[in-house]
Structure 1
């Protein structure tokens, strides 16, 4: 059995009283000494294990610290590179931002200038539109009075009314009313077929070179006698040999040709202008060209609505035809008929003015 260790402070049993020798004391002391050694050995082993464990942990910690320091250095290097890149990017961005700021300032100044210009335009757009309309109406009025350009004046009035209608301002109602009245006046005018008259004059000009002159008149060709083998008036055929009929036909043809030649030897005509029969080829050329010039001048007078010049040129052309050209020829008679049709055209149309529309525009502009 195990006995408790000896403790001098505890009460001793009777057989271990003072002065009595214990036979177990040496054994107990040896045993206690061995236990102490074992405890010391165990403690030393534990301390050694603890030391070894701490050393291993410290070594592992050092390796981890070294790896972390190396990783930190790498990351620091990369961070420095990234920082330099970021600094460069920041500098570049700052430069771009400064450029953008300058452009923004410039854009703002341009926007302010455009706004001012737009305000000026919006204030003066009506004045400019009215000034342009006034100029167009003045030009159309001049063309209407000088050339009788009714269609051009109508187009000018319609364009002016369309432009005023876009603004949709009640202040322009008075001007639009004046424009409407002038348009009604122009639409009520009788129409003159200027194009048709001009085409007739062009046709006359193209026929001048084919009109025969008195000086270049040629003898008329003999008419071919019609063969008539009919017999007497009672309608019964006369019995005759064939050779007699052939001989009769030849005699009639010969006698007709001889009579025609004899008639051409002497001809009597009454001519009011004897000098027309003695025109040389060059003079005949100038006669035709002068007639063309007269007709062209009449055409220009027609387009410019100059009726006096138009009538004068037509009369001169008619006089030239009657004086130098053969009025018995079919071509000459056709030309005279066409010329009379042109002379019968009426150009006496009093053109209205556009003063009412122009006055309405000027009155509006003169208002404060």
Structure 2
């Protein structure tokens, strides 16, 4: 606006300075006024144009300034956001780094602990290995000592002559005889061993061994006079009794077993032959009704199943006696035989010959010997070990 006022004043001044002197003639004055007015209007239009252009450029400048200011603010905002994101990323990265460092430290600590434990175990194993090596060394030393002793004994044994070997064999045979007799009651094997030992001493021919041979002969005589139980024969007798129980008649009345004879389909009774029909009926009636005489009070009639139970009970008692015989349990053996005899006299008909035979067999088996009497044959072994040559060997082994 100041520019426009200034332009107007300048235009007015120019118009006054260039205004020509007034003339008296009227036409001339009118011509000069028309030209000055056109220039003024032109100047005014130019002034307004310049003012509009200046205003337009001013407004454009203002808009550009505002846009620039907004861009600067946006840049500042973006920069702040980027800074915040950078700070956040920095914090996350720092946290991850710290976590990774902690985990790495934990792994390092665990590895160090594992290495320490491994080192401790290795130390312990080394200690155990050293202890084992020491024990092995002690065992080797002991083995060397035992080997040396064995070699010395072997050297002495190799240096023996045949008579010495015969005495050693006789001692071994006497030991076998004592073991078999005391542990298993085997008189037969003990006799064989005693006779073999006496034969070895006879081959030796040393006069100092005669008392030993006399003792051996005494032991042999004692064994031969010792009664030996016939376990096989007794067991066979018990088995035979068990096998004949099903044929033994019982004492109590019972219905027995009705025997039925199958008839062929085409065999039918002929009603014309009355005598044959009556005979057949009578035979069948005799198998159903059996008359027995008894001096005892009449008791209830037993069924075939009950009779079978009585027989099975007697068989079981005899079997238990046989098992006790195998175990050489004399007390149990005789107890089962006594029970079998009581069962026999209570439930079986003792007037029958087969039952009397069973009773006699049970009495014989009860009085039979089932266990070898104890016999001492250790005197001959002690006498042989008292021989000077054996005493020297024992002293050498002890040293």
Q: TM over 0.5, yes or no?
A: no
Normalised TM-score (structure 2): 0.42
Greater gyration radius: 2
Query: Which structure carries more helix by proportion?
Result: 2
